[in-house]
Structure 1
Amino acid sequence: MSFRRVVWVGHFVCPLQSWLNQRDHSFRDRIEVVSMDGFAGYASAAEAAVPKATRVMDPFHVVRLASDKVTKCRQRLQIETTGRRGRRGDPLYKNRKTLLTRDSLLTDGQNARLDDLWAFDEDYQPLYQAYLVYQRVIDAYEMKNRRQAKKAMSHLIDQLRVMKGKAHKEIAQLGRSLHKRRRDVLPFFDRGVSNGPVEAINGRLEHLRGIALGFKSLNHYILRCLIHSGGLTNKINAL
C-alpha cells in the first residue's frame, strides 16, 4: 500500500468512519493494523469499517492513562487531607512531577523525597498504590521479551479489574478502562506498532495551529500543513 498524507475535517467517529467507508473494499482489505490513541470512537470506527484489522492502542496513551490516574489520586488526597488545592510547600504538590517520573530515572534526592512522602501520612497509601501501578505499566512496555511483557500486562489488567473501594477508586477506574480496551492494548506486544510517527507530525501541526491567525480555507490549511511538516520538498518562491 502506498503512503498518503491525509488531512480530514473532523475529530470524532463519524468523519473517520465516513472516510473509511468512502474507500473501496480492496483498500480496506489491505489494512492490517490500525494504531490509535485512547479515544473510543476510533476503535468503534475501525471495528465497523475494517473489522478484520488488528486494533492497537499506542503505548504512550496507555501510560498517559495510568499517569492521569496518579495525578487525580494526588489531587483528591490533597483536598481530603488539607481541604484546599496544593501549594508550594505541600508534600503532595511538591512531588507532583517526581510521581510521574520513571523510577529508574529518579535521582537519590528524588527517591529520598518520595520515601519521606510515603512516610508523611498513612492517608497517602492509595497514592502509593497508584504510583506502583503506573510504574508496572511502564515496566511492561520496557520488557525485552514481548511474550512475557504481554503476560505481565494481562495479569495487571486482571488485578486492577477487581479493585474496589473509595480509597482506590482511581486504580479501579484504570482497571475498568484497560479491561474495556484489552483487545486494543495487548496486541501491541504481538505487532509492535506505534502511533509515534503520526504523533510527531501532529505535534508540528499543533504548533502550526498555535502560531496561525486562523484558516478559512481547508485547502490553505492542508498546504500550510504540508509545508510546515516538510511535505513539499521543492522550493516555493511564491510563499
Structure 2
Amino acid sequence: MEGLAVQQVELDDDGARVVHVLTDDESAAGCPQCGVLSTSVKGHAMTRPRDVPYGQAPVRLVWHKRRWRCMEAACPRASFTESLPAVPARARLTTRLRTECGAGIANRFSCVSAGADYYGMSWPVAHAAFVAHADPVLAQPLPPVKVLGIDETRRGKPKWGRDPDTGRWVVVADRWHTGIVDAAGTGGLLAHIDGRTAAKVAEWIAEQPDSWRAGITHVTIDLSASYLRAVTDALPHAVVVADRFHLVRLANDMVTEVRQRATREVRGRRGRRRDPEWAGRRKLLIAHERLDDAAFVKVWNNLIDAGDPGIEILHAYTVKENLRALLALSGTNPERALIRARLWRLYEQAAASSSPEVHRFAATIEQWWPAIEAAITTNYSNARSEGYNRLAKHTGRNAFGYRNVEHHRRAIRWACTRQHRRASAAISEVPGQVR
C-alpha cells in the first residue's frame, strides 16, 4: 500500500495474518488544516484499518503511527495524527477496500447485500461505495442516438384496497417507470423516468441538448397514445415506428375476444373443454407456419363443423395472419406496391367480417398506419426496450425489492448499460484515442 511499509507479519491463533505497518511518507507529517510539516512528535497511536482480503486466511492490518504537534502559531489545530490518501483520517476501511467493494457490487455481485457480506461491511457503507463507483459513469453525457426506444415497466406490484363506499377492491397505487433506450446502438438505458405520462417523457427529452435531439431520426414505441403525443411534441422531426411485436399481440387479443364473445352468444356460457373453439384456442394464437399440417387441418375442420361461431373465429384468424404476412415484409426492402397489396388484403378480409372486434382492430391499423409502414420499411423495433425491461425486473428480484426509488433507478441503469461501457472501453483502447 502506497505510503506504508511492512514492519513484521505475525500469525494469529485463528490462522489470520497480522501485518504491522509503519508510515513511509513524509507528507503524512503535514497538518491537515494548514499544511505545514511538523517535526515535533507528541505521541504514538495504533489503528486497525480493514484492507482488501487476500487468500483464504484473513489479513489484519495494524498501523503504528505518530501523533504530531502543529508548530504553526496561526493554526488553530494543536495536534493531529498521521493520515494518508490510502487510509484517510478516522477511516476504518482503506480506500482500496471501498473501491474494490464498489466495483465488485457493480460487476460481480447480484446486489449490494451480497457485496457487503463478502467484504464484511455494513449495507450503508457498501452501498455508498457502489454509488461512488457508478454515479460518475452514469452522469457522463449521453452518447449520440439515432433510434430512440420508449417503453414502460411496472415497479413492483399494484397495491389493492377496499373502497369504503362500494366495498369493492380497487387499485390504490400502481407505480410505473418509463425507460428510454438506445434502440439501435450500444447506449443502453439512457434514462428511467418516474411515471408514464406524455408530459414526463416530453420534459426529459426537452432537457437534453439540441444537438443530441437533432440526431434522433426515429422513435420506436408500442401503441401508446401518451408516448406518441410526447414524441410529437418534443421530437416533431422524428419518425414514429410502431413495434411489430405489440401489433401481433393486438391481433392475437382480437382473435381471443372474438372467440370468447362468439362462445357466449351461442352457448350462453364460457368455453369448455368439449367445445371445439376452446380446444383449439392455443393453436389459434400460433403462427400458421409453425403449425404442422395435421394440427392446422384438425383445428380448421373442427371450427367449420361448429357452424357460424367457428367460421367467425376463422375469419378473425385469417385477418391476424394477413397482418403477420404484412409485417413479414420488414427487413426485405419491399416495393410499395407489395405493401399496398398486402394491406388491401387485410382490409378486405376485415371488411367482410361481421365481428366488431375485427372492425375495431382494422380501425387501429388504419390509425397507426404511418408508424406501421415505418416499421416495415426501416425494420426498427422496440426489442431493446423489452430486453431492458426484463433486466430491470431481474435487478429488483435479485435485491428482493427496493424501497428507495433512486437506489432502484441507479441499479437498473447500471445493469442496462454494460454493453455501452464495454464499447466505450474498446474505443478508448484504440491507438491514437485519448482515454
TM-score by length of 1: 0.86
Are residues 1:84 and 2:269 paired?
Answer: yes
Displacement of 1:44 in angstroms is 1.0
Asked if 1 retains the 8 angstrom alpha-carbon contact of 2:188 and 2:418, the reply is no
Q: 1:160 touches 1:176 (CA, 8 Å); kept in 2? A: no
If the length of structure 2 is used for normalisation, what is the TM-score? 0.49
- Report the CA distance between 1:177 and its aligned residue: 0.6
Residue in 1 aligned with 2:403? 216
Residue 150 of structure 1 corresponds to 339
Determine the structure 2 residue equivalent to 1:178. Answer: 365
- Aligned with residue 197 of structure 1, among 372, 384, 388: 384
1:24 and 2:209 correspond: yes
Residues 192 and 413 in structure 2, CA contact (< 8 A), matched pair in contact too: no
Cα offset for 1:49? Answer: 0.8
Structure 1: tracts of 5 or more residues without a match: 235-239
For 1:136, give the aligned amino acid: N
In structure 2, the partner of 1:237 is: none
Q: Which whole-Å CA distance do the structure 2 matches of 1:102 and 1:156 have between them?
A: 18
Match among 412, 416, 419 for residue 225 of structure 1: 412
What is the SS of the residue equivalent to 1:7? strand
Q: CA RMSD in A?
A: 2.5
1:210–1:174 Cα change, 3 Å: farther
Q: Which amino acid aligns with 2:324?
A: I
The one-letter amino acid paired with 1:202 is: N
Q: Which runs of 5+ in 2 are unaligned?
A: 1-143, 146-186, 423-435
Could you say which structure has the higher helix fraction? Answer: 1
Percent identity of paired positions between Structure 1 and Structure 2: 24
Post-superposition shift, 1:21? 1.8
Residue of structure 1 in register with 2:298 after alignment: 113
- The aligned counterpart of 1:134 is 320
Question: Greater CA deviation, 197-206 or 133-142?
Answer: 197-206
User: In the alignment, is residue 40 of structure 1 matched against residue 228 of structure 2?
Assistant: no
Pairwise CA distance, 1:160: 6.4
Tell me, in whole angstroms, the C-alpha distance in 1 between the residues paired with 2:409 and 2:252.
Answer: 34
Q: Number of matched residues?
A: 232
Q: Secondary structure at the match of 2:403?
A: coil
SS across alignment from 1:8: strand
Secondary structure of the 1:186 match is helix
Q: Please give the alpha-carbon distance, in whole angstroms, between the structure 1 residues aligned to 2:304 and 2:362.
A: 26
Q: Secondary structure at the match of 1:131?
A: helix
Q: 1:17 to 1:171 in 2, by over 3 A?
A: same
The code of the aligned residue for 2:374 comes to P
2: distance between equivalents of 1:222 and 1:119?
52
Q: Give the corresponding residue for 1:122.
A: 307
Query: Shift in Å at residue 120 of structure 1?
Result: 1.9
**CA distances 1:5-55 after superposition (whole Å, capped 9, x unpaired):** 221111222211111122232222211000111111111111111011010
Of the structure 1 ranges 184-193 and 217-226, higher mean CA displacement relative to structure 2 is found in: 217-226
Find the residue that maps to 2:240 and give its secondary structure: strand
